[in-house]
Structure 1
Amino acid sequence: MRRPRPPRRLRTPLTVLALLAPALLGALGPDGSGETIPLSGTDPGQHLDVTLTRVVDPADPAPTPAPAGSDSDTDSDRLVAVEFRLENTGTAVYQDSPAKSSHLLDSDGERFTGSNTTTTAGPAFPDTVTLAPGGSALGFVTFRLPNDAALAAVQFALNSGLADDVGHWSLP
């Protein structure tokens, strides 16, 4: 007489997720970045795919000679550099300031506007980036915030941050 076979064990969604999580998280990077968000501007044909590729916290300022008698370092502030990849997917030329288009939010709800400050993390975007349709650019936007501020999210919107369509990346 044959013994009945025990039922096959089915993998639950949690088990499958636990098996896939390392692969999924590895694709995003240790800072939770990697997601591409399509954004539209206020004018017809303004479309940009924006990818948050890296967050460097803290970012060291690039070495520059300080003017005599100046004290540019403050112990109460730190720099955070955020790298974006911009791809013009629209039919209009993209011409804008990525620094003015970017904001960093801390866990207290404070909002910090980006700058073109150069850091050792990598090259900053220029004041104005111009991309023909199909063009792309990679660069950093830098934020100055208090040392004790905890990062919560990064936001990006076309038209110097004034477009209604806002990309939002939560930070771990």
Structure 2
Amino acid sequence: MRFRIHAAIVAALLACTATACAGTDEEVTTKPKAPAAADTGAEKKDDGAKAEAAKKQQDAKVGDTIALKGLEAGHELDVTVVKVVDNAKPADEFFAPEDGNRWLGVQFQLVNTGSKAYSDAPMNGAKLVDDQGQQFQVVLGDISAGPSMQADVNLKPGSKALGWITFELPKKSKAATVQFGMDSGFSDQTGEWKLS
């Protein structure tokens, strides 16, 4: 018999303390952080081309970074969805998706851009959403694509963490977006990336 511990259990236990700190201005942001502009001295594009380019960049996708803020002042992260592996293979023979399901791995990079050290369990703040609006939580399963995100991450300002977070969903579900929120998902701001 396989035992699965879902990050949602931990998140539910934290709800008592975290909800007391949470504000009321909740936001889901899909806007990627703009890449650093290079000053080449080239002629500027016309306003129509700029507007079209801005429209295409409204929704973050794989490879994009979203700047997020936590509950406490000085807690800020640049969060990047680096890679996605659908139908991810288990790293060992002990854990595997349930029959009729598959694993999808998302590699996240977290960079502490704030002024304070940041400690969290990043897996608690991640969720996968399919094209029907069904949400899927994290499973604790290592995949062959690489190392999992650590359960507890402690980052001083300027430090980063990189790792895979694994989700389990039905084989027939089409993954649409992945979300990430600081403070085990209880911060007022959540980042969202399109997967297709």
* TM-score normalised to structure 2 length: 0.67
2:79 to 50, 73, 79: 50
Aligned to 2:33: none
**In terms of Rg, which structure is larger?**
1
Aligned to 2:90: 61
In 2, the alpha carbon distance for the partners of 1:40 and 1:50 equals: 10
Q: How does 1:136-155 map to 2 (within 5 A)?
A: 136-155=160-179
Amino acid at match of 1:38: A
TM-superposed deviation, 1:73: 5.0
Does the residue aligned with 2:110 lie in a helix, a strand or coil? strand
1:36 to 38, 49, 65: 65
Are 2:189 and 1:165 aligned? yes
In 2, the alpha carbon distance for the partners of 1:40 and 1:115 equals: 25
Higher RCO by CA contacts (8 Å cutoff, separation 6 or greater): 2
2:135 to 111, 114, 126: 111
Does the residue aligned with 1:160 lie in a helix, a strand or coil? helix
Amino acid at match of 2:105: A
Is the 1:100–1:115 Cα contact (8 Å) retained in structure 2? Answer: no
Does the residue aligned with 2:139 lie in a helix, a strand or coil? coil
Runs (5+) with no aligned partner, structure 2: 1-47
Does the residue aligned with 1:99 lie in a helix, a strand or coil? helix
Moved more, 101-110 or 111-120: 111-120
Is the 1:42–1:163 Cα contact (8 Å) retained in structure 2? Answer: yes
In 2, the alpha carbon distance for the partners of 1:65 and 1:48 equals: 34
* TM-score normalised to structure 1 length: 0.76
Q: How many residues align?
A: 143
Runs of 4+ in 1 over 3 A off after TM superposition: none
Q: How does 1:62-141 map to 2 (within 5 A)?
A: 62-65=91-94, 73-141=97-165
Runs (5+) with no aligned partner, structure 1: 1-12, 25-31, 67-71
Is the 1:116–1:125 Cα contact (8 Å) retained in structure 2? Answer: no
Deviations along 1:121-147, whole A, 9 cap, x unmatched? 110012111111110011000001111
Among all aligned residue pairs of Structure 1 and Structure 2, give the percentage whose two residues are the same amino acid.
39
Does the residue aligned with 2:127 lie in a helix, a strand or coil? strand
Superposition RMSD on alpha carbons, in Å? 2.2
